[in-house]
Amino acid sequence: MKKLEVLQKYFGHSKFRKNQEAAIDAILDGQDLLMILPTGGGKSLCYQLPSLVMDGVSVVISPLLALMHDQVMALQNSGIEAKMLSSMQTLQESKTIEQELKSGKIKLLYISPEKLGNEYFLNLLKGIKINFFVVDEAHCVSQWGHEFREHYRMLHILKEHFSNTSIAAFTATATHMVQEDIIASLRLKSPKIIKGVVFRENLFLQADYKLGDGKAQLVQFLKEQKGAAGIVYAFSRKQCESLAKYLQERGFLAKAFHANMPNEEKKEVFKAFLNDEIEIVVATIAFGMGIDKSNIRFVVHMNMPKSIEGYYQEIGRAGRDGLEAKTLLLFSTQDIIQQKRFIEELPEGIYKKSAYEKLNAMYKYASSQACRHKAIAAYFGDTIEPCKSHCDNCLEANKNAIDITKAAQMLLSAIYRTKQSFGIHYVIDVLRGSLDKRILTNKHNELSVYGIGKEHSKAWWLSIADRLLELEAVGIGEFKVYFLTKKGVAILKGQESVSINEKRLQISKASKKSKKEPSEPLEFEDRVFEALRALRKEIATKEGVPPYIVFSDKTLKELASYLPSTKEQMLQINGIGEVKFQKYGEAFLEALKEFIVT
């Protein structure tokens, strides 16, 4: 069967997304592949489709059982022979799958990396026709990655035991260092490297300084989501439980999820979230990596993550269906202190230095006034234009801006007059008139800038310094010494002005509670969508699968918009192929009749 025929029949699409066909062709040509594509870009199809075109079985190595289970269930629902071998199966079930493998009945076999350490299993693989291996979540291979896993580091054994079998490695995030580490660790041979643009145009990015414990900000944000599904990431299990209880008391369908919960309870929460029985999971960062739920509409971080890689991976769990989704990051100085404590416990060396650099980059992103999408893209080595409308900074570029040119000149002058030989905390202490022994010894209390900034707090001045760093008006040299750049000199001479968003200075008070707006009646398209959503839930419950396995939100939105009345029209809808139509088509066509005016 040809590529496009498989695409339509099993996946319900009439054309490939950007980069997909190039990856598929590389696999079909037997070439090693490294694909770096943001979550929601359609990575899974890049290896699932060629498996259906080629003879033999594709072996997919994945980090989490829940992730494998979800993907296998979705493939089986689309009429594709996929199985997983893990501790979840009984001995008899495993034996049955082994027989199916030997007889060529299975197209995709999902396993954990630990499975490859078993000599019996390796010998089993050597006795079957494997067309290619897939390493999913490949960033787990790298010691520089944010989710490094020891068993992934051992995957070089694939090339040792199956030297003539190609490997396709996939990840949503990888800096240049991580990319090189993946290639070396997996021993990929002259791999084709396909890197998608980091920009996720359906994600709205927002970050705010946390006011108190941030709960009021969280509730305000959740009220705007109108019962959509989402994940709230918390720092600890105690915070998870406390937040979940707080949200429940305010009428939200929320549950906690963390590693210390009993397994049965975790399974119940996970299943309830998949099946849309609860709206919000309050979890530690481990949750979400193993979930294939496409209709997550928002992700909230109640604390600052330790790296941009981790943050980008976590927000990538929202909007996987391509529809609009929102993110919110709440952060405070305490978050930085907390993260630094963990780093301080690491042994001295390059890894510890890298951890500090990642944390600093994360803080710079969170506190920045620049386009957030552009900042993330730059971190991963991409260059894009500002998003203009998909992050809070771009939307607020000219709102609540206050002129800080005078304050900037004070700080720049203090850096210059202390001979550009000190760190920013020392310079600010001079500005604020500190009686620190070093200042007195250096006679910096005699400078004209001494004490001229005492009316403001140290945190206020640090915000000014961050803004100047962001504008590249100052640089940081050896021993964290601050120095002026050409732009800094221009500002000091009054040739350029500087502004900052008021919230950056933490001046603004908590926003006044907005009066509750009367709920407006649903538009026609929304009413159709809700009716289809109810039907999807009914079918999913009968079949014992999560609703998004039946149809994604994106598919329901298209059905509600185009109102197809025939099989031919329905097959034009994204996500509906022959297999899905045979299972659900008639039921949805019947439901749509009510809304079609004849």
* Number of structural domains the chain divides into: 4
CA angle 542, 547, 550 (to 5 degrees): 85
CATH number at residue 421: 1.10.10.10
For residues 163 and 19, membership in a common domain is answered with yes
List the domain range (segments joined by +) for residue 560: 524-593
Chain mean position to CA 86: 26
Strands 108-111 vs 82-85: parallel, antiparallel or unpaired: parallel
Does the predicted model carry a pTM greater than 0.95? Answer: no
For residues 230 and 182, membership in a common domain is answered with no
| Tokens encoding 170 | 């996939």
For residues 104 and 181, membership in a common domain is answered with yes
Taking alpha carbons only, the member of 370, 366, 315 closest to residue 339 is: 366
Residue 24 lies in a domain: yes
Number of Cβ atoms within 10 Å of the Cβ of 480:
11
Taking alpha carbons only, the member of 199, 155, 208 closest to residue 332 is: 208
Instruction: Give how far Cα 503 sits from Cα of 368, 402, 512, Å.
Output: 11, 10, 15
For residues 367 and 415, membership in a common domain is answered with no
Is residue 51 classed as helix, strand or coil in its secondary structure? helix
Chain mean position to CA 372: 14
Residue 519 lies in a domain: no
| Tokens encoding 542 | 């009968």
For residues 90 and 75, membership in a common domain is answered with yes
Residue 517 lies in a domain: no
| Tokens encoding 6 | 């498989």
Q: Which of 195, 216, 236 is the last residue of a domain?
A: 195
Residue 514 lies in a domain: no
Is residue 163 classed as helix, strand or coil in its secondary structure? coil
Residue 53 lies in a domain: yes
| Helix axes 524-543 and 553-562, enclosed angle (nearest 10) | 130
Encode 217-246 in three state secondary structure.
Answer: HHHHHHHCCCCCEEEEECCCHHHHHHHHHH
Predicted pLDDT of residue 598:
45
For residues 419 and 543, membership in a common domain is answered with no
Number of Cβ atoms within 10 Å of the Cβ of 483:
14
Q: Which of 463, 478, 505 is the last residue of a domain?
A: 505
Residue 335 lies in a domain: yes
**Which residue bears the tokens 């929304």?**
526
For residues 214 and 191, membership in a common domain is answered with no
Residue 513 lies in a domain: no
Q: Which of 366, 395, 424 is the last residue of a domain?
A: 395
For residues 96 and 185, membership in a common domain is answered with yes
For residues 414 and 363, membership in a common domain is answered with no
Is residue 60 classed as helix, strand or coil in its secondary structure? strand
Residue 515 lies in a domain: no
For residues 388 and 493, membership in a common domain is answered with no
For residues 373 and 290, membership in a common domain is answered with yes
Residue 84 · residue 63 · CB < 8 Å: no
User: DSSP letters along 409-464, please?
Assistant: HHHHHHHHHTTT-S-HHHHHHHHTT---HHHHHTTGGGSTTTTTTTTS-HHHHHHH
Encode 184-211 in three state secondary structure.
Answer: HHHCCCCCEEEECCCCCCCEEECEEECC
CATH number at residue 171: 3.40.50.300
For residues 301 and 369, membership in a common domain is answered with yes
Q: Which residues of 205-234 are buried (b: 16+ CB within 10 A; e: fewer)?
A: bbbebbbeebbebbeebbeebeebbbbbbb
| Tokens encoding 465 | 């310094």
- The half-sphere exposure of 520 on its side-chain side, counting CA atoms within 13 A, is 5
pLDDT per residue rounded down to tens, the chain (598 residues)? 789 999 999 998 889 988 999 999 999 999 999 999 987 778 999 999 999 999 999 999 998 777 788 889 889 998 999 999 987 778 898 999 999 999 999 999 999 898 888 899 999 999 999 999 999 989 888 877 656 677 888 999 999 999 999 999 999 888 888 899 999 999 999 999 999 888 898 999 999 988 888 999 999 999 999 889 999 999 888 999 999 999 999 999 999 998 788 888 888 998 899 889 999 999 987 665 556 688 999 999 999 999 999 899 899 889 988 899 999 999 987 788 788 888 888 888 888 888 888 998 998 899 888 899 999 999 998 889 999 899 999 988 766 778 999 999 999 999 999 999 999 999 999 999 999 899 999 999 999 999 999 999 888 898 899 889 888 899 988 878 999 999 999 999 999 999 887 766 654 322 233 333 333 344 557 788 888 999 999 999 999 999 999 999 989 988 988 888 889 889 988 889 999 999 999 999 989 887 775 4
In degrees and rounded to multiples of 5, residue 339 shows phi and psi of -65, -35
